[in-house]
Chain A
């Protein structure tokens, strides 16, 4: 990643004479990196980094609820809808003789136009046959287009020195003053506190809107509050991150954190942490390399965290779930072999527990096991001490294997019995295939089935069950 990039290109940068002309940015020295990262690189830089970090925390925290409320795309529309507001605020302020570039004025304009954007989305959904995604797409592009036109109009105006307005599109932490950063930090802090205070209300509305409404909560107002906080964070982040990428700060931290936990408060904490970390690294890198926009670095950082989380998270990660699926398939296949071996022995009334190769081939054919999978299954059986190698490629069941095989075979029959006698009571379970269910039947259910079958006195299969 970029850290590695810095490392790789850092060495030749001692040669100052060439690098300025050939490389866009002058690469910082190790010392500069160290002082920036430990917040010792001057007051201005420190305030900007701290502000962006808090912004990341705030976005991560409120982003959890925006995501759970399925409003991720809406927040993208919010950020794009800020642009015409910025342009208009500049024009209005200038024509009133105020400083058109005053940050609070511009941000106020941004907030107003993004609120109008959200209202437009809702109006479209309600009053046309458009669905939410189309409405969002229309509002997002039209507002952004209007903003771009406005900026070019400003550029051509005589009064307008709009050179600074473009920074709201891509963001630029390096150009921020201490006042700007303090304002951003203040808004972010306020938004975080509000979210924590409204944690319970937001959870309820996100989880079950109908229940919340019946329970007497003003769902619409809670929703508006949530969106207002998203607007606040978006607007606060415009200067640092830029309107195109600020949405990533709202979405990526919560989805990354979601891989790691099933508990909401922990999700909020983790998401805030990931957001803060990416905000911190992004602004620090931007401070070191003045021409690198912080937004992209922030997004790359959180994107990397997302990628890692998706891969390695223990319960919900891709690798974990692949391994789980593979283990289950292996177990089911192994149990099929054990079951077949036990039934084979009962059928032929054999004394020895031999499962010949011909039967194994037959089973592999029916179950469509590839050769490598079959090898793997057989290896697993041996490794767990359930079988040993027999003559002519056959298997011999150990006492452990025999016991397990008997258990699987019995569950199988219990389940069939259950379906026959109780299918009308458990209509939701009928579609479970017997093959699958026998492997996941919990102990209690097996006991209940045995009891039920005894009570019913069904002669069917009762003999085989014992």
Chain B
């Protein structure tokens, strides 16, 4: 995906981007960074959802995108992946456009976005992660089916490979999605709420896979809704509420003050957030 700009937007944007590029702490050369987001603005029906987002992701890190409901967390990763039209801005992957870097990017969509009554088995779904490698008009061969089975094994789902996806529990479905993304063999993974509504066993399985990916030098960017687990599961965080409030290593950015800025006047969430931080600091 490249820039798609409306001229009116651009005039406003150009003032911003100069200040923001300075503000975003360059971690490394942008060409080394798996994702660099510059001045990204997204609007639905003229109402801005993301406004002038700037972010540079470090490599081999587990990154959480946190923020209140409607902060544009899902929209951020969808616009990075070209699933949502952007009003302005630019996203590059290792210094290249999305189209050029596509083969190195994996994606776990939100569980709700899929028809679970679809007549495919868990194995069929994971095989879909191999389709790009198989290519047009060619059948799924045993080699690819074995690779898909290995991915199911990694998320502890090999025994249920033949099960129709609708007959799996929510957590198992999520693990199948994760396995499909593993089958893509990417270097950068985008995951939309992988922990939403899953059971404890799935949560453990997912976090194990995430750490494994990190140890292989891969980068994972997750939309995450559960504040208390952020310090435990992730090493970087992006605090988002339409714009990036702050971003960086969790122990630096995950402060009560930053969370208050992100969650604004939502008191219940705020207290939850402060709680989480206190608990996290005790653990450390």
Instruction: Tell me, yes or no, whether A261 is within 8 Å of chain B by CB.
Output: yes
Contacting pair A208 B137 (CB below 8 A): no
Q: Which of B18-26, B36-44, B116-124, B149-157 contacts A (4 or more CB under 8 A)?
A: B116-124
Instruction: Bits for B178-191, please: 1 = Cβ < 8 Å to A, else 0.
Output: 00100010000010
Interface residues of B in 172-225 (CB under 8 A from A): 180, 184, 190, 197-200, 203
Q: Which residue of B lies closest to A316 (CB)?
A: B117
- Interface 9-mer from B3-11, B102-110, B231-239, B263-271: B102-110
Q: Which residue of B lies closest to A263 (CB)?
A: B119
B200 A422 Cβ-Cβ under 8 A = yes
User: Is there a chain B Cβ closer than 8 Å to A1's Cβ?
Assistant: no
Report the separation of the CA atoms of residues A139 and B103 in the bound assembly, to the nearest whole angstrom: 40
How many pairs, one residue from A and one from B, have CB atoms within 8 Å of each other in the complex? 85
B143 touches A (CB below 8 Å): no
B196 CB, nearest partner CB in chain A, Å: 9
Name the B residues within 8 Å of A211 (CB-CB).
107, 109, 128, 180
Cα separation A425 to B197 with both chains bound (whole Å): 9
Are the C-beta atoms of B124 and A204 separated by less than 8 Å?
Answer: no
- Which of A215, A261, A422 is close to B184, meaning CB atoms less than 8 Å apart? A215
Q: Given that A207-B114, A213-B82, A427-B197 are known contacts, is A264 also in contact with B119, CB under 8 Å in the complex?
A: yes
Q: Which of A200, A208, A216, A261 contacts B113 (CB 8 A)?
A: A208
B137 A198 Cβ-Cβ under 8 A? yes
By beta carbon, the residue of chain A nearest B139 is A200
B170 within 8 A of A: yes
The answer, yes or no, to whether A214 is at the interface (CB within 8 Å) is yes
B132 contacts A208, C-beta separation under 8 Å? no
Q: Which residue of A lies closest to B228 (CB)?
A: A424
Chain B CB within 10 Å — which of A207, A215, A262 has the most? A215
Asked if B120 and A207 make an inter-chain contact with CB atoms under 8 angstroms apart, the answer reads yes
In this complex, which of B119, B120, B128, B199 has the most chain A Cβ atoms within 10 angstroms of its Cβ? B119
Which of B103, B128, B138, B139 contacts A216 (CB under 8 A)?
B103
Q: Which residues of B contact A426 (CB under 8 A)?
A: 199-200
Instruction: Return B195 CB to nearest CB of chain A, in Å.
Output: 11
Q: Judging by beta carbons under 8 Å apart, are A197 and B137 in contact? A: yes
The answer to whether the Cβ of A142 comes within 8 Å of any Cβ in the partner chain is: no
Q: Is the CB of A263 within 8 A of B121?
A: yes
Partner of B83, one of A201, A210, A427: A210
**Roughly how many angstroms separate A199 CA and B203 CA in the complex, as a whole number?**
34
Q: How far is the CB of B254 from chain A (nearest CB, A)?
A: 20
| A336 adjacent to chain B (CB < 8 Å) | no
Residue of A whose beta carbon sits closest to that of B103:
A216
When the two chains form their complex, are residues B164 and A262 in contact, meaning their CB atoms are under 8 A apart? yes
- Say yes or no: A262 contacts B119, CB within 8 Å: yes
Q: Which residue of A lies closest to B80 (CB)?
A: A214
Interface residues in B231-264 (C-beta closer than 8 Å to A): none
Does A412 lie at the interface of the complex (its beta carbon under 8 Å from any beta carbon of B)?
Answer: no
Q: Which residues of A contact B138 (CB under 8 A)?
A: 200
Q: Which residue of A lies closest to B136 (CB)?
A: A201
Q: Is A206 an interface residue (CB 8 A)?
A: yes
Chain A positions 114 through 129: 1 when the CB is less than 8 Å from some CB of chain B, otherwise 0: 0000000000000000
CB-contacts of A186-219 with B (<8 A): 197-201, 203-204, 206-208, 210-211, 213-217
In the complex, the 7 A-B pairs of residues with the closest C-beta atoms, listed nearest first: A428-B197, A262-B164, A214-B107, A197-B137, A216-B102, A425-B200, A214-B81
Q: What would be 18 A-B contacts, judged by CB atoms less than 8 Å apart?
A: A197-B137, A200-B138, A200-B139, A200-B140, A201-B131, A201-B137, A203-B120, A203-B128, A207-B118, A208-B109, A208-B114, A210-B78, A210-B109, A215-B132, A262-B119, A262-B121, A422-B200, A428-B198
